[in-house]
């Protein structure tokens, strides 16, 4: 593989990013990493589905109309763009929204109150095809893409398409791919009889391709076909090679062990700085913690908790078994025997949500619960945690 130039055009494809859409940490990474790469002098394009948050913003600039094959027909898709200035950079950050309202103009990103959307495969097949069409559009406009950075299963198909069916395009032949695994537990697994919707050669529905115990596994395909694979830390890069953390893909990952790179996620020290955070009622710093108690009291009021002096603990995240929230639930009664309060913020499995509601009802003065996602509350919880 030849050495790449110092300055690259990096395109990122993901299913969520701050401030446009968020269910978890993936959105935080995609909200910050493109800016940091732009600060290093690279040209960066971020491609996302056009969710309702885009539709609520000022109108975007339409840059292309596409006709993308989907199951049962063709979808008329538009690519819409906005640019975001990044101080001290040569190139503004380009955000491209893939607009197809029947698939993406929905209240939830991946699911409704009844569970995962039944057409999630169709939705992210269309998104992945649109990402590659975006590469071609930008190349025609004189901005060829050097690296396509894919995130999790929702974008993993791009790597498969690039190697399997798009080599006739000069704009796509030069692109190198890297797939980042934020959480191997989410793989994009669908029934095997839906493989034809993807538009790949039948030979790829095999153990050497996307077949996974009779099902279609999009993340597996991305791992096999991407030029490089990264994870969110060096430790995680090792953990996913084990049966305990590989979620069934440890064998596939082991076959690429020399090409898996652990790169530790950072935090956005501007957005999450308690000395300047606009979401907070009061500010403090590591040098002056005076107002941290005021943040704790404000959080207690917001969550309907009394002004108790004991520790205030918290959990934030996607409420799923894979994240261990069932274990946390089992420990809550024992935790309630201590002089502590607990703040809980998240959304996910309906059974877990109902169990957390029951715990809140049992300990109304000890547990603060918010089911859903609230970016401001997440900041206030982080700021209000105390051990006193």
Q: Measured in whole angstroms, how far is the alpha carbon of residue 160 from the centre of its chain?
A: 20
* pLDDT(239) > 90: yes
Q: Measured in whole angstroms, how far is the alpha carbon of residue 133 from the centre of its chain?
A: 21
Question: What pLDDT does residue 32 have?
Answer: 92
In the chain, the percentage of residues whose pLDDT exceeds 90 is: 78
Question: What pLDDT does residue 186 have?
Answer: 93
pLDDT tens by residue, 139-157: 999 999 999 999 999 999 9
Sign of CA dihedral 172, 217, 371, 279: negative
For residues 99 and 18, what is the distance between their CA atoms, to the nearest angstrom? 18
Structural domains of the chain in order of their starting residue, each with its CATH number: 9-262 (3.40.50.2000), 292-384 (3.40.50.2000)
For residues 131 and 167, what is the distance between their CA atoms, to the nearest angstrom? 15
Nearest Cα neighbor of 281 from 383, 375, 367, 373 is 383
* pLDDT(243) > 50: yes
Q: Which residues 6+ apart lie within 8 Å of 138 measured at CB? A: 9, 11, 45, 144, 145
Question: What pLDDT does residue 1 have?
Answer: 40
For residues 315 and 64, what is the distance between their CA atoms, to the nearest angstrom? 42
For residues 92 and 35, what is the distance between their CA atoms, to the nearest angstrom? 9
Tell me the pLDDT band of 237, cut-offs 50, 70 and 90: very high
The whole-number average pLDDT for the span 244-263 is: 91
- Check: CB of residue 195 under 8 Å from CB of residue 259: no
Q: What is the DSSP letter of 193?
A: G
The whole-number average pLDDT for the span 175-190 is: 96
Bond preceding residue 19 cis, omega within 30 of 0: yes
> According to DSSP H, which parts of the chain are helical?
25-39, 52-55, 101-104, 120-140, 152-164, 170-173, 218-225, 234-239, 250-254, 292-302, 325-335, 350-362, 375-384
Tell me the pLDDT band of 3, cut-offs 50, 70 and 90: very low
Higher pLDDT, 233 or 169: 233
Q: Which residue is it, tokens 């530790």?
A: 264
Tell me the pLDDT band of 4, cut-offs 50, 70 and 90: low
- Check: CB of residue 212 under 8 Å from CB of residue 153: no
For residues 180 and 83, what is the distance between their CA atoms, to the nearest angstrom? 24
Question: What pLDDT does residue 2 have?
Answer: 44
For residues 49 and 15, what is the distance between their CA atoms, to the nearest angstrom? 6
pLDDT tens by residue, 296-349: 999 999 999 999 989 999 999 888 887 889 999 999 999 999 999 999 999 888
Tell me the pLDDT band of 105, cut-offs 50, 70 and 90: very high
If you average pLDDT over every residue of the chain, what do you get? 92
Tell me the pLDDT band of 25, cut-offs 50, 70 and 90: confident
Rounded (10°) angle between helices 120-140 and 152-164: 60
Higher pLDDT, 373 or 274: 274
Angle at 343 between CA 341 and CA 349, to 5 degrees: 130
The whole-number average pLDDT for the span 254-271 is: 86
Nearest Cα neighbor of 144 from 4, 5, 10 is 10
End-to-end CA distance of the chain: 55
The whole-number average pLDDT for the span 230-234 is: 94
Tell me the pLDDT band of 165, cut-offs 50, 70 and 90: confident
List, as one string, the DSSP characters of 43-65.
Answer: EEEEEEE--HHHHTSSPPEEEEE
Q: What is the DSSP letter of 66?
A: E
Least confident of 130-144, 208-222, 252-266, 281-295: 252-266
Question: What pLDDT does residue 325 have?
Answer: 94
For residues 349 and 317, what is the distance between their CA atoms, to the nearest angstrom? 12
Question: What pLDDT does residue 5 have?
Answer: 60
The phi and psi torsions of 311 (rounded to 5 degrees) equal -60, 145
Q: How many CA atoms lie within 13 A of 196 on its CB side?
A: 3
The whole-number average pLDDT for the span 115-125 is: 95
pLDDT tens by residue, 155-164: 999 999 998 8
Nearest Cα neighbor of 312 from 324, 325, 330, 299 is 299
Nearest Cα neighbor of 68 from 198, 190, 164, 221 is 198
For residues 187 and 285, what is the distance between their CA atoms, to the nearest angstrom? 40
For residues 194 and 216, what is the distance between their CA atoms, to the nearest angstrom? 8
């Amino acid at each position: 593989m030849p050495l790449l130039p110092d300055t690259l055009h990096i395109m990122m494809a993901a299913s969520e990013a701050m401030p446009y859409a968020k269910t978890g940490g993936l959105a935080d990474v995609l909200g910050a990493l493109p800016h940091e790469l732009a600060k290093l002098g690279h040209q960066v394009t971020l491609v996302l589905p056009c969710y309702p948050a885009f539709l609520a913003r000022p109108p975007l600039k339409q840059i292309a109309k596409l006709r993308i094959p989907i199951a049962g027909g063709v979808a008329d898709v538009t690519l819409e763009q906005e640019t975001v200035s990044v101080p001290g950079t040569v190139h503004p950050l380009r955000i491209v929204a893939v607009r197809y309202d029947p698939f993406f103009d929905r209240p939830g990103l991946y699911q409704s109150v009844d569970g995962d959307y039944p057409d999630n495969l169709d939705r992210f097949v269309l998104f992945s095809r649109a990402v590659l069409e975006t590469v071609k559009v930008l190349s025609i406009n004189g901005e060829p893409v050097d690296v396509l950075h894919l995130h999790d299963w929702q974008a993993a198909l791009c790597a498969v398409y690039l190697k399997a069916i798009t080599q006739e395009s000069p704009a796509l032949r030069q692109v190198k791919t890297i797939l980042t695994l934020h959480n191997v537990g989410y793989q994009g697994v669908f029934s095997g009889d839906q493989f034809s919707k993807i538009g790949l050669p039948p030979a790829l529905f095999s153990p050497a391709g996307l077949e996974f115990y009779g099902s279609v596994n999009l993340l597996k395909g991305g791992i096999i076909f991407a030029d490089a694979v990264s994870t969110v830390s060096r430790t995680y890069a090792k953990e996913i090679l084990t049966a305990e953390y590989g979620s069934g893909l440890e064998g596939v990952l082991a076959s690429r062990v020399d090409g898996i790179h652990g790169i530790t996620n950072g935090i956005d020290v501007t957005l999450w700085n308690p000395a300047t955070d606009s979401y907070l009622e009061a500010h403090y710093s590591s040098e002056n913690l005076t107002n941290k108690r005021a943040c704790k009291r404000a959080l207690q009021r917001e969550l309907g908790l009394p002004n108790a002096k004991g520790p205030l603990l918290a959990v934030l995240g996607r409420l799923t078994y894979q994240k261990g929230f069932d274990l946390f639930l089992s420990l809550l009664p024992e935790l309630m025997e201590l002089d502590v309060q607990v703040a809980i913020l998240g959304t996910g499995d309906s059974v877990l949500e109902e169990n957390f509601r029951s715990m809140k009802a049992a300990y109304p003065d000890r547990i603060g619960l918010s089911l859903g996602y609230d970016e401001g509350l997440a900041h206030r919880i982080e700021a209000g945690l105390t051990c006193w």
